[in-house]
Amino acid sequence: METFELLAKGFAVALQEQNILACLIGVIGGVIIGALPGLGPSTGVAVLLPLTFGRDPTMAIIMLAGIYYGAMFGGAISSILINTPGDSASVMTCMDGNPLAQQGRAGAALGMSTLASFTGGTISVIIFTFLAPKLAEAVLWFGPPEYFALMVMGLSTVSGLTGKSPFKGMASMLVGLALSTVGVDLVTGKPRFCFGRPELFSGIEFITVALGLFGIAELVNLAAGESGQLKRTEVKLSFRNMLPNKEDWGHSWPHILRGTFLGFLIGMLPGAGATIASFISYSMAKQRSKRAELFGKGAIEGVAAPESANNAASVGAFVPLLALGVPGSATTAVLLGALMMFNLRPGPLIFQQAPEFVWGLIASMYVGNVMLVALMLLFIAAFVRVLDIPVHLLVASVFVLILAGSFSLNVGLFEVGITVAFGAIGYVMKRLEYPPAPLVLALVLGHMLENSFRQSLIMSRGDMSIFFTRPLSLILLAVAVAAVVIPAIRNYQRASASRST
Amino acid sequence: MKRGTQISAVVLLLLAIYIMVTSIKKLGYKLNGLPGPGYAPFWIAVFLVIFALGILWEAKGLSGSSIFTPRALKMLAILTAAGVATIVLSLFLGLLTSLALIAGALIWLLGGSWKQAVITIIAVGICFNLLFQRLLMVTFPKGPLGF
């Protein structure tokens, strides 16, 4: 009952004029960013974050969250119409979405992806509404050792499971941790790795790094593509031809529901996220479908299953972010950084300390999902036009927006320099298959990790066994080790097998 | 891919060694029996050495294919140079003018027409002035013309 009251208060916040506007801007921005190949939600949130400086925190986070789940909706547009996923979470939508477009059923594919996304998103928000506060209550008794172990687990799973090589993921994470140590040490007041630059005394802002790694690096990638203009399937889209028929619904609804629950669960796990959720959901749909032979050739349920899963996963990712204060993906890492910039500390206490913000955000997700389904069904033709923007225009305008955003952070050119440098580093990392998400996640969590570590050792008077004698801390650290060791062993076995053949 | 990965692993090893040496010699590993400012960086560097060696070992099985196409290298150089040029130009022309000029130059360099470049210069100038300077109240460094 209490949850309903809090949710009602949340709706009172979410339905304020300024918050409705923020949500609308966020979801429209998200759909556009999601639709543009190469610009995923993490890039979108990082690039648009500077535009929220000085605004009301609730309004700002509602907008940024809108970009996140809006991008999940938008990703399907380019997958279906140009066979190029807007971001990795939409890869599986290409499999059947584009063949459907080739058969003249682009409207049905886009409509089904919209309705599946809406169903996945909305059911997930309902689960989130009841689950997140309970989880936050359950972890209220966590002490510094448990928090330290939880953060280590979050970082290890993201590093171990993201990318092809767990070694590269871990190295990326450790570089992020090393970067987080730059600045004046809060305990002793001693500058660390500042090279005499006063700009570095307060540390490296995560957003300057994220703008480079996710923003500029993706722009280089986009500009490096051979095509100057995206080639899309010509379609006539209207409200009527976007509504799936009875037969389409009959084939799709079980897969939408399964994808929703699967996506939500996977989204909550650090490192797994929307991409893996959509892959698994698609594979399960194919296995269980009565017409598996149609998959890859234009099965409508091949669009519904991954789309419901990736949207559900994007909502699921908010559970560990808000309830535990530990993000599990690149986008939620950027969102955590944004929350901290607004002096909001996610974690179990946020439900008590900032209920208006938390419940306002949750309520805005219901509002945002309704906005998205209405916008997509009514204005899809306008969103599709985004694909007609020439690449050079897109690259140039987003590039200067990134630089201006980086400057706005501390009103300094030094930050712009850091962003440009990390843009180049990020592109090289991308080509060498070093995942950037662990680096950003570690940079955001680094301070908290070090503080928990030091507090734990103060509690135990310097005795490291405190991390291994408390049961939950031990379990979390064991999971952290397993998250790195198991993928490494698998890689080794795969390499040995390929060498022997 | 193989050589690129090997070089990156060596760079990580060098970085780790630098962090370890600085942590011990300059920052201080322990303080009154508890972790000092160099404690966390030291252990981060130790783990970085381990994983960098892992990357070196893994690189043995990689192919020798190139990771950069000539076009990718060109784009990387163009965008990096554009970023550096923005910083340098803003010292003389102000940030708003520099951003507008760089946007126009990028359009032209990436294959757009000079008309698109000119329109972009004007549009960026006006839109960024409204968005950043008027709406977000960010003060950009000004040039000799006062904007």
Q: What is the ipTM of this complex?
A: 0.92
> Average pLDDT of chain A?
87
Tens digits of residue pLDDT in A266-316:
888 776 678 888 888 998 888 888 888 888 888 999 999 999 999 999 889
Chain B positions touching A495 (Cβ under 8 A) are 58, 61
Tens digits of residue pLDDT in A350-386:
888 888 999 999 999 999 999 999 998 888 888 888 7
Task: Return the HEC string of B131-144.
Answer: HHHHHCCCCCCECC
- A-proximal residues of B, 2-21, CB under 8 Å: 4-5, 8, 12, 15, 19
Chain B nearest C-alpha distance from A473 (Å): 19
Q: Do A413 and B44 touch (CB under 8 A)?
A: no
Residue in A146, A145, A152, A165 with CA at minimum distance from that of residue A480: A152
Instruction: Report the sign of the C-alpha dihedral through residues B65, A175, A161, A345, in that order.
Output: negative
Residues A491-496 have a mean pLDDT of 77
Chain B nearest C-alpha distance from A399 (Å): 8
State which residue of chain B sits closest to A452, comparing Cα positions.
B40
Tens digits of residue pLDDT in B76-126:
999 999 999 999 999 889 999 999 999 999 999 988 899 999 999 999 999
pLDDT at A227: 54
What are the tokens at B33?
A: 């029996």
Q: Which residues are CB-contacts of A387 (< 8 A; sequence separation ≥ 6)?
A: A35, A36, A77, A78, A81, A82, A230, A232
- A-proximal residues of B, 110-129, CB under 8 Å: 110-112, 116, 120, 124, 128
DSSP string over A82-131: HS--SSGGGHHHHHHHHHHHHTT-HHHHHHHHHHHHHHHHHHHHHHHHHH
State which residue of chain A sits closest to B89, comparing Cα positions.
A413
Q: Which of A171-175, A292-296, A393-397 has the lowest mean pLDDT?
A: A292-296
Q: Do B110 and A395 touch (CB under 8 A)?
A: yes
H or E stretch at A459: helix A436-459
State which residue of chain A sits closest to B96, comparing Cα positions.
A404
Q: What is the pTM of this model?
A: 0.84
Reported confidence tier of residue A499, pLDDT bands at 50, 70, 90: low
What are the tokens at B27?
A: 């920052």
Size of interface A-B (CB pairs under 8 A): 187
pLDDT at A347: 82
* Chain A interface mutation, best of B69, B86, B142, highest count of A Cβ atoms under 10 Å: B86
Q: Do A171 and B48 touch (CB under 8 A)?
A: yes
Reported confidence tier of residue A214, pLDDT bands at 50, 70, 90: confident
Chain A nearest C-alpha distance from B85 (Å): 10
Q: Do B86 and A419 touch (CB under 8 A)?
A: no
Residue A320 near residue A327 (C-beta atoms within 8 A): yes
Q: Which residues are CB-contacts of B7 (< 8 A; sequence separation ≥ 6)?
A: none
Long-range contacts of B116-120 (CB under 8 A, 24+ apart): B116/A390, B116/A392, B116/A393, B120/A393, B120/A396, B120/A397
